[in-house]
Amino acid sequence: MKIKRLIIIFTLLLVASYTVLFYYINATHINSVDVTQINRVVKTIEKDWANGDTEKTGANGGMAYQITLVTDENYQSLLFEGIRNRHTIMDLTSVSADGQAEVLGKVIFLTDGSEEEMMKNNLLTMITVVFLMVLIMVDVVLGMVHFSILRPFGIMKQFAQKIADGDLEFRLPMDRGNYFGAFTESFDLMREELRKARQGEYEANISKKELVAELSHDIKTPVATIKAICELLKVKLGGVKFDAQAGEAAETTIAESMEKIAVIHSKADVIDALISNLFHATLEELEMLKVNVSEQPSTVIIQMFKEMDNFGKIRFKNDLAECLISCDPLRLGQVIDNIISNSDKYAGTDIDIWFDLDQTEKYLKVKIRDDGDGVNPDEWPLVCEKFFRGSGEAVQNTPGSGLGLYLARQFMEGMGGSIRCYNEGGFVVELRIKVV
């Protein structure tokens, strides 16, 4: 392990520096005063003194000295100064003629303090080095702890957050050299499994919806057959001729049958409408209602209206400006289909169409208006919402799913355009189609 090795290296370094320090301090011996030498010097001075040719300060044998006589005025102060400075102080004596030794003064040996000074400096350096080493070691160890423990924890926290947010694509980076390597690996495995499970769920959902879409499509065929047979029966029964023998009884039976057939027919209609909605809703959930935008001449819009104009109710109020628009003809056709059939269903009046080309904003406005009751103003913003149905009488009395305008908006937005609904003497749907 890195950290272990580092700690060992640092410990060894510390021990080594301690040893060096110990031996250094231990080996530093404080010089004891060389008594013989001092004595010799004092004797020389005394001899010289007797001869009378000695200065008051001087040096002998490498030792500086100062002489102060008892008779001197500053004798006391020099003496105390010497004591304070830990100088070596000897008596200066002279032997008088009668053999009596008499103290003349003191010889003060001026030893300097350089040794102590040096020792102090060396100690300071040593302590500084050791202190710095300890500091670096602490910092490095803390850094290692941060990088190898705290940070991986942080990443793991982030990872957990992402997983919680449902982002299962976020991989947890793994470092095998780390204590957490194995840990992180298992976390990542967990994520992988979660992702797989979710993917499986998603696919199962899709296939379920596809099944619904297929089934609803398949059911439409027999329903259409039922409707066709109902119509056929109505025609056939309506044409039955009664002879006198069959009488009234037969006539009533036939009338009853006609009624029942009408019920079957209307119920089949309801089933048909419901299945259509189911089909569209499922397709929409499957996101299969893709919009493929291409550049088309604006004249295709006229074509679409004409194809929808089964009852001759559509009136163009002005000319369409020719230009290139960007749209998906199939989807734009569905949008127009939905709007026109809504008008047919709920208003049943004539439908007026206006075109307006806005060259600065670069869109083509198509305004489609019927003469019906319109929609409650509170509900204008809602009419394009999924499954929303207006509260008006006409809407409530007509079957529908609330998907038509929702899909219309989806398609228009997919084509880079927009849709807006409001009342203006009838219900108005305004399409804005992007111009190339």
Residues at the site binding another protein, with contacts judged by CB under 8 A: 294-299, 321-324, 357, 359, 435-436
CB-wise, 69 or 323, nearer to another protein?
A: 323
What gap in Å lies between CA 243 and CA 123, rounded to an integer?
140
Helix (H, G, I), strand (E, B) or coil at 358: strand
CB-wise, 139 or 295, nearer to another protein?
A: 295
Closest CA to 396 of 379, 408, 410, 411: 379
CB-wise, 141 or 357, nearer to another protein?
A: 357
Distance linking the first and last C-alpha atoms of the chain: 67
Least distance CB 360 / another protein (angstroms)? 11
Least distance CB 324 / another protein (angstroms)? 5
Least distance CB 307 / another protein (angstroms)? 18
- Beta-carbon contacts of 50 under 8 Å, excluding residues fewer than 6 positions away, are 94
Q: What is the b/e burial string over 125-147, where b = at least 16 CB atoms within 10 angstroms of the residue's CB?
A: ebeeebeeeeeebeeeeeeeeee
What's at 76, amino acid-wise? Q
Least distance CB 216 / another protein (angstroms)? 30
Q: Following DSSP, what letter does each residue of 214-255 receive, concatenated?
A: HHHHHHHHHHHHHHHHHHHHHHHHHTPPPPTTTHHHHHHHHH
Least distance CB 295 / another protein (angstroms)? 5
CB-wise, 333 or 372, nearer to another protein?
A: 333
- Beta-carbon contacts of 349 under 8 Å, excluding residues fewer than 6 positions away, are 313, 343, 370, 371, 372, 426
CB-wise, 44 or 299, nearer to another protein?
A: 299
> Do 347 and 373 meet the contact criterion of CB atoms below 8 Å apart?
yes
What gap in Å lies between CA 366 and CA 305, rounded to an integer?
11
CB-wise, 296 or 349, nearer to another protein?
A: 296
What gap in Å lies between CA 368 and CA 9, rounded to an integer?
86
Least distance CB 299 / another protein (angstroms)? 7
CB-wise, 17 or 326, nearer to another protein?
A: 326
